[in-house]
Structure 1
Amino acid sequence: MHRHPAVTIAICLFNSSRFIGETLDSVFAQTRQDFEVVLIDDGSTDGCVELVERRFPDPRIRVLRQAHRGLSIARRRSIAASTGELVAFLDHDDIWLPHKLERQLAAASGHPEAALFFSDCVYIDEHGNPLRRLSDEYRLNDLDLTGMSAYAELLRRGCFVWQSTVLARTAALRAVDAFDPAYRYIADYDTWLRMARRYGLHYTPEVLAKWRVHRVQFTQRCPEVTLADHRALLGALYRTESIPQPIRIAVGDRLLGQHRVSCRWLLKQGRYALAARALYGMFSYPDRLFAYLVGKVLERRRLGPALRMALRAVKGAVRLGRGRRRPTVEAGVASTRAAHIWIDGTALAAAETGYFNLVAEMIRALAAGSSNVVHVVATPAGRAALERRLGGPAARLQFHPSPRYALDGSGFRHMSNRRWVRVVRSVLRVVAAPRGAPPDSDTIEVLVWRGRFRWARSQHVALVQDLTTKILPELHTAANVAEFDRFLAYVRRHASAIATVSEHSRQDIVERLAVFPDSVSVLPMPVHPRYRMPLFSKAAAAAHGLTQPYILCVGCVEPRKNLRRLVRAFDLIKDDDAVANHVLALAGPQGWDEGFGRFLLESDAAPRVRTLGFVPGEDLPSLYHFASTVVCASVYEGFGIPALEAMCASAIVIGSATTALGDVIGRDGITFDPYSTEAIASAMLHALSLTQAEAAQYRRRCRARADALLSRSHQMPLLPGLRAPAHAVAT
């Protein structure tokens, strides 16, 4: 049996004949020899590949050739060609110390939670003379890589992970789609940031490699490329509200410094138009530019000392004034000031599914807290729908009319990037930006969909249920995708925290959005009080024409719900004895799968499929309970409220093993691959073939699972930043 090597050493060549011999000598001098070497020749013309083949006739070396396409493409190909569980990167002119692999393979074995391992290194010149250590430049002695601190450190300090010291897990590199070709210069930095958002990092403070520094660096040869890369990667992060201010200051200072360096080198090269653009770009960071200029003034010998004394005096006066205005609180007496929570109620005017259910029940739970004052910004139709849903508890709410929908201008990105569009986009961002202070100091604003934050000095929380429009855009209309992109762009710029409905959705948001990972939290999934102790009536099912055994699926008619595969799966088993006399009942309003009706008419299963349309909430517990099985076949769910509701109703619930649905149903539940019609059919047949005793046990198991999920949710704050949430639910 062929045994894969412990590690793949990835080396990219481009006219590398001067140093590649010394580099490979350091590889074959390693104390651990269980490796393969993948050499990617990126269109070399100096004979370096032939040199390697003559000097190193080792069967562990594989050479892959390609036309010159750039370093990122070459590195991506080396990862694709890797057969080891770990990949060690080595630049063609750098050198490893003999125990490099041994040390890092031991670290990888001892730290299975980490996916990226790196070490200290020493800079050397073209002749191999030592210059300085990487740890001295980045002050790595106090490096904190615990939890999400690694991501924060990479943003604050810059790219202190040098390529030739890296050992990474192959699966993790593939999962983050490492080395984006869009970046010519800092694709490695982008990759380390992506990995830090998902995996642990491990640092070995020992020098394990030598980094060769050349007289003329890429930054000096192509300053416009390095500047464009830094702006593309860090520009959005600098403007992301959820990233802590000290980190944004560090990112802004680094961007400003990149503009200065690029401007200087472009001027030396006589490229004055590009130099002017680099200079103009400094005004994109006005606070950092002001701080830089003030710092320069304070450094002057004559003005500096006097100005520093004046600044200290002003700061002291400001602190004194704030201390006098601050209200005094008696010792041992806690503040009883109420939290004012402003909820964006735009989703309340939509159909009573999905976002409506989530927002309505979240408002109910928040209003149950005696210390909370809940304000709902809604249209008249949304207010009426919420009052019908909540009943008596709605009297405790304060309603406000919904303002006109305001964009932040990000949607113009989909139309054009002309100068006038950029100007309009900038103006709209200013118009849509929150301003001033709220009427009450302890104010939390919750944004759900099409609204916007009102005040700059309140806490901004955005509710993002899932990222299905970004992960599976083909299942949505182009208008839906564009609208949600605008919403996410606004959230990134103005939300200090993001609340979502499951750990799975939290991971999606952390991995795919330019927000600070620690700002994303999971809120408890609220359900209607009727599901706490549900009552069942067969008359409810009969009222919807369900007088014979039925399989139930609840959800809007849209491609994500996977109804076409469900119908095909039902067609495969409709003649089985266990399915005899059963019908497939589809409950939910019409969505954007407009061709589903025609598909259903042409299906052989059509005579035994019932489309119920929208089902009132008070009927759903009975429909869930009396169904032979409830199927949740979605290809993607941020949580899956119907699955939780059905389990509360002690139904036999089966569903997709993917995304959050698998977590809701549980490992011991009946799950299936939603992309396989045969798997869906097999799972339904399994559920329908349970004996009476097995079915009763499975129903008890589903109810117990629902109770566990609801109990766990009681331990969670209703919103990030809410001091004392009340978890009681009004009935």
Structure 2
Amino acid sequence: MQSVNHSQQPLVSVVIATFNMGQYLPEAIDSVLAQAWKNLEIIVVDDGSSDNTAEVMGRFDQDPRVRYIQTENRGQPKAKNLGLQEAAGDFIAFCDADDLWHPEKLRMQMPLFEQEGVGVVYSEVSYIDQHGVKVAKPQPYIRHSGQVTRHLVIKNFVPFGTAVIRRACIEKNGAFDEALPMGIDWDLWLRYSVDWQFRYLPEKTYIYRIWPGQMSKNYRGRYDNAFRILNKFLGQYPNSLPDDLIARAWADMYVSRGMAIAGAEKTFAEPLRDILTGLRKDSTYWPAWRSLAKLMLRRV
């Protein structure tokens, strides 16, 4: 993108919801402030931290681009929604308090909004460890652009922190569902995908930190919420997908849960029930047959 006058750039509001991330938060903020795209603001919502977050935020007191809001601990969805309510920009972006932005992130992603109907622009991710050392990880899902509901209902392929969204998406399709403890991004993307185009930028603009203190992988809780989110979406938008695709979505849900349980718990009966349920939903779904073979051969 060619050099743009600061005053001509749309304002981008960056929401950082944080809880006890004082050790990493300043680095996350610095990475956003280092953007080549200069017309931005940062709203840091402190969700009841008990560490040194308030102390480290003191270094940003004199920067008018950074606002610091302290609340009692109410959970991630409410913290993020408070940030959305305080945001002044026509575009909203996110950065988790332990992650980082590439300095060219907004300058690379914002031009894609010039295409009509685009509500969400997202990108690829790179990874670092707790010391900031690069970590190699394969891309887990195929990414998609355009009308993505039919793909998104099968897999959440949008890395949350990479996304920039139009404020109009929130106004038309709502903010985060505060009743959901997990999976709030998939719920959001599903709703937005009904009325908005998504655009994928293959460049790595977001740096995800993998470290030992992260939330444990609660795979059962994650799938409990995923079932809830899919039910909710299909109830809200009953005509958004054909029956065969809905069947495939449920098939993938059951099979994915079964394989997650098999891999984590090394059990057989419960994963088998899930995979067979998936096949009853859609007998032509080849990943289900592949998963069944892996389970039977004990290669999970």
Q: TM bucket by the smaller chain?
A: 0.7 to 0.9
**CA distance in 2 between partners of 1:281 and 1:294 (Å):** 10
Deviations 1:54-92 (A, max 9, x none): 256311211122111111111111111111111111111
Determine helix, strand or coil for the equivalent of 1:184. Answer: coil
| TM-aligned CA distance change 1:48 to 1:255, over 3 Å | farther
Q: Which residue of 2 aligns with 1:285?
A: 278
The AA in structure 1 aligned to 2:65 is R
Q: Which residue of 2 aligns with 1:234?
A: 230
Q: Is the 8 A contact 1:121 1:133 kept in 2?
A: no
Deviations 1:652-705 (A, max 9, x none): xxxxxxxxxxxxxxxxxxxxxxxxxxxxxxxxxxxxxxxxxxxxxxxxxxxxxx
State how many pairs are aligned. 284
Q: Which residue of 2 aligns with 1:295?
A: 293
**CA distance in 2 between partners of 1:238 and 1:45 (Å):** 39
Q: Which residue of 2 aligns with 1:207?
A: 204
Q: Which residue of 1 aligns with 2:151?
A: 153
What TM-score, normalized to structure 1? 0.35
Q: Which residue of 1 aligns with 2:251?
A: 252
Which structure shows the higher helix fraction? 1
Which residues of 2 match residues 59-138 of structure 1 at below 5 A?
A: 59-108=64-113, 110-132=114-136, 136-138=139-141
Determine helix, strand or coil for the equivalent of 1:233. Answer: helix
Deviations 1:220-257 (A, max 9, x none): 2x333212101112357799895363674355234322
Matched, 1:38 2:43: yes
Q: 5+ residue gaps in structure 2?
A: 1-7
Give 1:260 shift. 3.8
**CA distance in 2 between partners of 1:193 and 1:63 (Å):** 30
**CA distance in 2 between partners of 1:208 and 1:200 (Å):** 20
Which residues of 2 match residues 484-523 of structure 1 at below 5 A?
A: none
Give 1:107 shift. 2.1
Q: Which residue of 2 aligns with 1:183?
A: 180
**CA distance in 2 between partners of 1:297 and 1:172 (Å):** 41
Q: Which residue of 1 aligns with 2:4?
A: none
The AA in structure 2 aligned to 1:65 is Q
**CA distance in 2 between partners of 1:229 and 1:297 (Å):** 24
Q: Is the 8 A contact 2:22 2:56 kept in 1?
A: yes
Which residues of 2 match residues 528-539 of structure 1 at below 5 A?
A: none
**CA distance in 2 between partners of 1:86 and 1:122 (Å):** 23
Deviations 1:164-190 (A, max 9, x none): 111111121232112112221111011
Which piece of structure 1 moves more, 225-234 or 52-61? 52-61
Deviations 1:239-278 (A, max 9, x none): 989536367435523432224424664x59xxx9xx9988
Indicate the RMSD between aligned Cα atoms, in angstroms: 3.5
Give 1:42 shift. 0.5
**CA distance in 2 between partners of 1:19 and 1:297 (Å):** 40
Give 1:279 shift. 7.7
Which residues of 2 match residues 455-604 of structure 1 at below 5 A?
A: none
What TM-score, normalized to structure 2? 0.81
Which is higher, the Rg of structure 1 or of structure 2? Answer: 1
Q: Is the 8 A contact 2:81 2:175 kept in 1?
A: yes
| TM-aligned CA distance change 1:70 to 1:245, over 3 Å | same
**CA distance in 1 between partners of 2:122 and 2:209 (Å):** 17
Q: Which residue of 2 aligns with 1:491?
A: none
Give 1:46 shift. 0.3
| TM-aligned CA distance change 1:130 to 1:235, over 3 Å | farther
Determine helix, strand or coil for the equivalent of 2:140. Answer: helix
The AA in structure 2 aligned to 1:37 is I
Determine helix, strand or coil for the equivalent of 2:82. Answer: helix
Q: Which structure has more RCO (C-alpha within 8 Å, separation ≥ 6)?
A: 2
**CA distance in 1 between partners of 2:36 and 2:233 (Å):** 42
Structure 1 consecutive aligned stretches of length 4 or more whose deviation exceeds 4 Å: 235-242, 262-265, 275-284, 297-301
- Percent of aligned pairs with the same residue? 26
Q: 5+ residue gaps in structure 1?
A: 302-731
The AA in structure 2 aligned to 1:8 is S
Give 1:154 shift. 1.3
Give 1:300 shift. 8.9
Q: Is the 8 A contact 2:128 2:134 kept in 1?
A: yes
Q: Which residue of 2 aligns with 1:697?
A: none
Q: Is the 8 A contact 1:12 1:75 kept in 2?
A: yes
The AA in structure 1 aligned to 2:223 is L
